[in-house]
């Protein structure tokens, strides 16, 4: 499920058309024929969604790591905070950013389908949409994270947030050690898509690990 109900490949992508894809295309054709939308408007919307990527989330996180006031705004009103950095997360869907702390680690899932903060991060990875992840993330979150190469310490509480058609979640991971003095651009490079979902955490810079 997407914020705009438009999540499918188009001719020329090289991806096989599924029954759901064909239904969406038929709906698009009908909307164009009825004059509700033009083909150009549909293509503009597709291009807009394709421009969303985890890099947006990384920018938000890096800004929050270096600006406490911005971090508070991001946690309190995610949509307004995204506008500050030139991102548009407007629309009926609510966005909530949950903060990792030394005591709590957050993990995001959508148990019903694949609800995901697409307006910020773009399309979800295939594993996020898989039945295996959607079922196991709730039942055995630590085992799932272990398979991604990360496991929170035993004394850290793991909170699983189930996205819905009305609410999307994104994780604000903790800032890695060894990053003092780094600027926002360098910090953003440490933030992966997986850490924004909570299956992993940002790695310390290589000079710190050496």
What are the residue numbers of the active site?
110, 113-115
Of 112, 120, 131, 111, nearest in space to 85 by CA: 120
Distance CA 78, CA 95 (A): 6
Q: Count CA atoms closer than 13 A to 159's CA, side-chain side.
A: 14
- Nearest 5°: the CA angle 176, 179, 183 is 120
* CB 168, CB 95: distance < 8 Å: yes
Alpha-carbon span 63 to 184, nearest angstrom: 6
Element containing residue 105 per DSSP (H, E): strand 104-109
Alpha carbon of 115 to those of 104, 186, 209: distances in Å?
23, 29, 35
Question: Residue 167: beta bridge partners?
Answer: 94
Identify whether the C-beta of residue 74 lies closer than 8 Å to the C-beta of residue 172. yes
- Please name every residue paired with 97 in a beta bridge, in sequence order, or none if there are none: 170
């Amino acid at each position: 499920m997407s914020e705009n109900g438009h999540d499918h490949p188009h001719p020329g992508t090289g991806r096989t058309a599924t029954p759901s894809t064909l239904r969406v295309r038929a709906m698009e054709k009908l909307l164009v024929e009825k004059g509700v939308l033009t083909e150009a408007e549909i293509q503009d919307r597709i291009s807009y969604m394709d421009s969303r990527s985890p890099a947006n989330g990384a920018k938000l996180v890096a800004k929050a790591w270096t600006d406490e006031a911005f971090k508070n705004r991001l946690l309190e009103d995610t949509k307004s905070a995204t506008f500050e950095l030139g991102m548009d997360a407007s629309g009926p869907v609510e966005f909530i950013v949950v903060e990792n702390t030394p005591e709590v680690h957050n993990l995001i899932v959508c148990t019903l389908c694949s609800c995901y903060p697409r307006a910020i991060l773009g399309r979800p990875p295939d594993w996020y949409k898989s039945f295996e992840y959607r079922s196991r993330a709730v039942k055995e979150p630590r085992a799932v994270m272990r398979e991604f190469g990360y496991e929170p310490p035993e004394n850290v509480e793991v909170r699983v947030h189930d996205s819905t058609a009305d609410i999307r979640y994104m994780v604000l991971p903790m800032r890695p050690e060894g990053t003092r003095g780094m600027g926002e651009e360098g910090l953003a490079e440490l933030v992966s898509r997986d850490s924004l979902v909570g299956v992993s955490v940002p790695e310390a810079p290589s000079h710190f690990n050496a």
